[in-house]
Structure 1
């Protein structure tokens, strides 16, 4: 029996095709350790074709491993594991980036701008001179690989209003970066440029366009093959990457209390686009909206009531916001997590991250937050704009 087992092992070890078919089922993180087995395994696991097959096989099966929370010092992170373990974060800083000349762009590295299906879009923290442009990178935090984006080639100086990362492994191994910049015509006319990892180049898309003055282009959400932007006044725009068309989507639902809303969440999870607005400082009840896949409009998907969380964490109750208010509740929405029919909110309450189940209304504490020297334990250090979902992937950048 032992002889037959050894013979089978030898056959597999020397047959690269069989070995690849076995390793394709192994999650990304163990595969990084398997690179140390031999030069053959290192070559196989590092092969771009194997990496593409692996990410396509695991894309719909892989759940979020955790969430990076960016502190007020952009190069510092708090990592919240979501896989039921207390595992260390895949990286603790972004100081391993270097520019094309081989020098680090700043002593502190770079900051995360956006995450999308396992990849991070990042920007250098410092410019060495007033006329120097920031460097931008796409990074795979699982493999520690990164690629610097080329600078935009424009006719003259331009202002970059925002960049958005678009990566959908089930459809393509390549990613795109959508940039909204100013034009030479006017500061109020915008131009879209797209970078493709397949061609490694930027190219302009469409003609200059006009958008509402308060459109938040520096936070785009990739969903349903398009990048989506919102404005505080309720206007909404989207850019369909496949046919390179700029369009609109239904505005967020209105409210008579719009002038007093405190928080907003806008993001994608589990293939759905969600929006949350919390009206008033003393409310514990709010709705989670979801966009229909055909863009027919927003509808209420869940209703949240966090009175139980307030009762369990009385440090959330504050009474110094406004003399006219008896109290308000200190919390921030970090993320909406969807997987199949399960859904939960990640909430930041003073000093803690709490998970709230949107179906059965139960909740549990995920972790304590370590305060920075300039932050008190009772302060709210993070919001949804500081949260970057992370999943393991071997995707090439």
Structure 2
């Protein structure tokens, strides 16, 4: 179990994101950013942390932080970056991006701005291959290329009708692949998994998942809400597997083999489950060991 007592913050600490063994943490008084919210990058392996200063925008009116996104790839560098998306708080205002580097311990403050015309969900930022990706409910969404310091457009698998605006649309990453999954409620046992082409031209259907095949071994699939915790790689390179929460159990599902096995027991409170359903990207965080400073 990971302890978050590495710093004494009067507001408490919560995990906002994880990335290749590092945790981006923030003060836990609210899910939304405020002027007294503090940010930290913590390495639970080395127990070391860094306080990330709030960016001082090159335009003073850009003082509302919409999201902080952690970018770390130890195969490329032992240094990490934090991307901040901020705005001035007024409706339909342009956004600005600033980038913090652990190498320089400074923010690179942008003088450029961009307009989010697709309604990107900035909370659900996924870092992959030097880029941070955000889903949307439109035909297109956006990603930020850290190497080019540029916001670019990409297609979405399908736009969402207004009548289905409560449907959960979620980006995931596994094995260097950007994945998309969408389902309307925690009891929907059939859904599609899409994968983005590496050139960002289009999505293709990777798997059509039907979890009812596991109902004999895990009857809770049909009688209780379940939830997708994350995607992971399989024992064979290229395989895609899912980690599920089913009726008090964590279950491993190999999509290609259509095989299930129990990982462990995990009993969640109703309030915990509600948080996972509403904001899985803010409550589910993968952890691994890394020797980066943090």
* 1:205 counterpart SS class: coil
| Cα distance in 2, alignment partners of residues 290 and 117 from structure 1 | 21
Alignment partners' CA distance in 2, 1:219 and 1:257: 20
TM-score where L is the length of structure 1: 0.65
Q: Following the alignment from structure 1 to structure 2, what is the Cα–Cα distance between the partners of residues 281 and 138?
A: 32
CA–CA distance in 1 between the matches of 2:248 and 2:74? 36
Q: CA deviation at 1:380?
A: 6.2
User: Which residue, out of 68, 80, 85, partners 1:163?
Assistant: 68
**Cα distance, 1:280–1:221 mapped onto 2, change above 3 Å:** closer
C-alpha contact (below 8 Å) 1:110/1:122 kept by paired residues = yes
Helix, strand or coil for the counterpart of 1:180?
strand
- Contact 2:43 2:292 (8 Å CA) reproduced: yes
Distance 1:159 1:297 in 2: 33
TM-score normalised per structure 2: 0.86
Q: Residue 225 in 1 paired to residue 130 in 2?
A: yes
- CA positional deviation for 1:105: 1.4
Cα gap change, 1:300 to 1:225, in 2 (>3 Å): same
| Conserved 8 A contact 2:135-2:170 | no
State the match for 2:198 in structure 1: 293
Q: Does 1:332 align with 2:237?
A: no
Instruction: State the Cα deviation string for residues 235-274 of structure 1 (Å, max 9, x = none).
Output: 3101100011110111123578982874433111111111
Instruction: Give 1:365 deviation, angstroms.
Output: 1.3
Choose the corresponding residue for 1:115, options 10, 15, 18. 18
Correspondence for 1:244: 149
**Alpha-carbon spacing, 1:156–1:282, altered in 2? closer, same or farther (3 Å):** closer
- Counting only pairs closer than 5 Å after superposition, residues 283-362 of structure 1 correspond to structure 2 as 283-318=188-223, 330-338=225-233, 340-362=237-259
3-state DSSP of counterpart to 2:104: coil
2:197 and 2:111 map into 1 onto residues whose CA distance is: 27
Structure 2, unaligned stretches of length 5 or more?
Answer: none
- The structure with the larger Rg is 1
1:132-211 alignment, distance < 5 Å = 132-154=35-57, 155-156=60-61, 158-183=63-88, 188-211=93-116
| Stretches of structure 1 lacking an aligned partner (at least 5 in a row) | 1-88, 98-103, 319-328
SS in 1 for 2:213: helix
Q: Contact between 1:336 and 1:343, CA under 8 Å: does it hold in 2?
A: yes
Question: Contact 2:16–2:24 (CA<8 Å) still a contact in 1?
Answer: yes
Q: In the aligned structure 2, how far is the partner of 1:257 from the partner of 1:135?
A: 36
Decide whether the 8 Å contact of 2:155 with 2:200 is kept in 1.
yes
Aligned length: 285
Return the alpha-carbon distance in structure 2 between the equivalents of residues 194 and 135 of structure 1: 16
- Contact 1:330–1:380 at 8 Å: present in 2 too? no
Partners in 2 of 1:121 and 1:354 — Cα distance? 26
- Look up the SS of the partner of 2:164 in the other structure: helix
Shift of 1:223: 0.9
Structure 2 match to 1:105: 9
* Paired residues of 1:206 and 1:244 also in contact (CA < 8 A): no
Q: Secondary structure at the match of 2:113?
A: strand
**Alignment partners' CA distance in 1, 2:38 and 2:187:** 42
Distance of 2:165 and 2:92 partners within structure 1: 31
Q: 8 Å contact 1:221–1:267 — kept in the other structure?
A: yes
